[in-house]
């Protein structure tokens, strides 16, 4: 599945979750399906079963979504969990005015509720360098939850700079810029039901996969 879109953006400033950094875009791009909506739905059901087993002794599970990319995943997970669930959100930023991550992670929006003594599941869209997830885990651990686990829809292990891995991973993907299922490209394409890779068009009309500059 493909869709062609015209963009003329001098810089993408990423916020929310791990993100994928910024890309200078002055030409059209195509989105090529990488993971189908059906595959995502099946995997979410599998992950929900694992979560139910892992937290079968809990009275209440607090799911903390990292805005903004995780909102679709957390919505689908919640509907698959037949247990007592509360939902809260953190908004974080790990990118400034550079093409790559500054490794400076800031909390833009804190939790509304307390997590001390509670069972917590952090929900992330994509783990890239690992700086964001590592920072969030340390930030929340300081509030003394009874248990804290993590889940990410996508994982790019080839990009890792911090030794951290989510408790549950939906899919491992190569080092390509992806969109869809809540993940954006300059705040666009979050509504796509599948995960697609971004292919930038050349001047002669050919498309090539976009990768984050390191």
Tokens 């990410």 label which residue? 152
The structure's pTM equals 0.81
| Fold designation for 4-209 | Rossmann fold (3.40.50)
Q: Where are the alpha helices (DSSP H) in the chain?
A: 37-54, 71-80, 131-141
pLDDT confidence bin for 186, thresholds 50/70/90:
confident
- Please say whether the dihedral angle defined by the alpha carbons of residues 56, 46, 80 and 87, taken in this order, is positive or negative: positive
Percentage of residues in the chain with pLDDT exceeding 90? Answer: 68
pLDDT confidence bin for 18, thresholds 50/70/90:
low
Q: What are 36-81's pLDDT values in tens digits?
A: 999 999 999 999 999 999 999 999 999 999 999 999 999 999 999 9
Q: What are 104-129's pLDDT values in tens digits?
A: 788 999 999 999 999 999 999 999 99
Q: Distance of CA 125 to CAs 67, 68, 142, 145, 206, Å?
A: 9, 9, 23, 22, 29
31: pLDDT strictly greater than 90: yes
Tokens 């909102």 label which residue? 71
Cβ-Cβ contacts under 8 Å for 130 (sequence gap 6 or more)? 18, 160, 161, 162, 163, 164
Q: Which DSSP state fits 18?
A: S
174: pLDDT strictly greater than 50: yes
Terminal-to-terminal C-alpha distance of the chain: 28
Cβ atoms within 10 Å of 81's Cβ, excluding its own: 17
What is the spatial distance between Cα 121 and Cα 48, in angstroms, rounded to a whole number?
Answer: 12
What is the spatial distance between Cα 124 and Cα 152, in angstroms, rounded to a whole number?
Answer: 5
pLDDT confidence bin for 9, thresholds 50/70/90:
very low
Exactly one of 128, 155, 184, 204 is catalytic; name it: 128
DSSP string, 125-178: EEESSSHHHHHHHHHHHTT--SEEEEEEEEE-GGG--S----SEEEEE--S--E
What is the spatial distance between Cα 84 and Cα 13, in angstroms, rounded to a whole number?
Answer: 36
Q: Which DSSP state fits 90?
A: E
Q: Is 155 a catalytic residue?
A: no
Q: Distance of CA 21 to CAs 24, 37, 189, 192, Å?
A: 10, 24, 16, 20
């Amino acid at each position: 599945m493909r869709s062609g879109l015209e963009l003329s953006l001098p810089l993408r400033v990423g916020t929310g979750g791990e993100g994928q950094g910024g890309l200078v875009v002055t030409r059209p791009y195509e989105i090529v399906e990488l993971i189908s909506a059906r595959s995502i739905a099946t995997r979410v059901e599998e992950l929900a079963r694992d979560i139910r087993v892992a937290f079968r002794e809990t009275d209440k599970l607090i799911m903390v979504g990292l805005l903004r990319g995780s909102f679709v995943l957390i919505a689908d997970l919640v509907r698959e969990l037949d247990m007592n669930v509360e939902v809260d959100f953190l908004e974080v930023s790990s990118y400034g005015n550079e093409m790559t991550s500054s490794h400076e992670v800031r909390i833009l929006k804190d939790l509304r509720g307390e997590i001390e003594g509670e069972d917590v599941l952090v929900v992330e869209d994509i783990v890239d360098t690992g700086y964001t997830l590592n920072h969030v885990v340390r930030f929340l651990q300081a509030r003394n939850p009874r248990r804290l686990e993590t889940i990410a829809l996508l994982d790019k292990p080839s990009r890792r700079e911090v030794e951290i891995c989510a408790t549950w991973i939906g899919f491992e993907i190569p080092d390509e810029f992806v969109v869809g299922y809540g993940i954006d490209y300059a705040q666009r394409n979050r509504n796509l039901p599948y995960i697609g890779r971004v292919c930038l068009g050349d001047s002669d009309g050919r498309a090539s996969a976009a990768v984050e500059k390191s």
